[in-house]
């Protein structure tokens, strides 16, 4: 079983068995339509992984060209003190202080999400945001270094559209004809991300990109090169 951690100082974290690199190699070279994907979106109190906090998390599992989730989770994270959350965040996300005060413990939310992620390629829009927050908290809670294999639908869109900047989720939805509903709600955003990736996958295959490594290498070179 693959775990998404390069080093472990403790044995009680998620996926705490020894690393077997061979499944990661197989996933890296797997055809896009055969890969198991882990879609994730989080809402946070701000953009800094070091200063801000996770407010809610949604994640789901898909395979190949299906947008139907075989497993799905959505949780609001418990915070006893919410004064640090700006009003604009409450307005955008639709979350309330009462929801956060009665939410789930962060460690349990992360444990469930990372269990879903095992042996899957992560997919997120503006993935650096999601990954940086999860890296901080897996390091803080379990002293583990999180290193997932990630496809960022934002950089894929930037590369495919030959754009000068990374597009927002709303912009990519408009471009690809994905309906925007309940924007900035983690559970809705992750469902839109799944639809975006399906359309992007087909576009990638149409220009000869067949595997996970093809997409990551090509889009990285186009977007950041």
Q: Are 151 and 125 in contact (CB under 8 A)?
A: no
Q: Are 6 and 19 in contact (CB under 8 A)?
A: yes
Q: What is the mean pLDDT of residues 99-107?
A: 98
Pairing mode, strands 36-44 and 121-124 = parallel
pLDDT tens column, 105-120: 999 999 999 999 999 9
pTM for the structure as a whole: 0.90
Extents of the domains making up the chain: 31-224
Residue-wise DSSP of 33-93: GG-EEEEEEEEESSS-TTT--EEEEEEEEEETT--S-SEEEEEEBP-S--TTS-HHHHHHH
- Tell me what pLDDT residue 187 has: 97
pLDDT tens column, 155-171: 999 999 999 999 999 99
User: The domain 31-224 belongs to what CATH superfamily?
Assistant: Ribonuclease H-like superfamily/Ribonuclease H (3.30.420.10)
Token representation of residue 120: 């899957």
Give the distance, in angstroms, between the CA of residue 132 and the centroid of all CA atoms in the same chain.
10
pLDDT interval class at 1 (50, 70, 90): very low
Q: Are 39 and 201 in contact (CB under 8 A)?
A: no
């Amino acid at each position: 079983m693959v775990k998404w951690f390069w080093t472990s100082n403790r044995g009680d974290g998620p996926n705490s068995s020894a690393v077997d690199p061979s499944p990661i190699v197989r996933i890296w070279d797997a055809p896009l339509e055969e890969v198991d994907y882990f879609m994730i979106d989080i809402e946070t109190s701000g953009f800094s992984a070091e200063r801000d906090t996770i407010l809610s998390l949604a994640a789901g599992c898909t395979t190949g060209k299906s947008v139907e989730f075989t497993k799905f989770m959505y949780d609001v994270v418990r915070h006893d003190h919410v004064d640090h959350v700006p009003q604009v965040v409450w307005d955008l996300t639709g979350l309330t202080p009462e929801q956060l005060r009665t939410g789930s413990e962060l460690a349990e939310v992360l444990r469930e999400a990372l269990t879903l992620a095992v042996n899957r390629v992560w997919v997120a829009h503006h993935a650096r945001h999601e990954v940086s927050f999860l890296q901080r908290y897996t390091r803080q809670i379990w002293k583990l270094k999180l290193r997932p294999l990630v496809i960022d639908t934002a950089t894929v869109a930037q590369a495919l559209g030959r754009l000068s900047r990374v597009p927002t989720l709303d912009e990519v939805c408009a471009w690809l004809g994905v309906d925007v509903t309940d924007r900035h709600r983690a559970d809705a955003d992750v469902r839109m991300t799944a639809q975006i990736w399906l359309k992007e996958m087909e576009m990638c295959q149409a220009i000869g990109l067949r595997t996970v490594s093809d997409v990551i290498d090509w889009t990285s070179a186009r977007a950041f090169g």
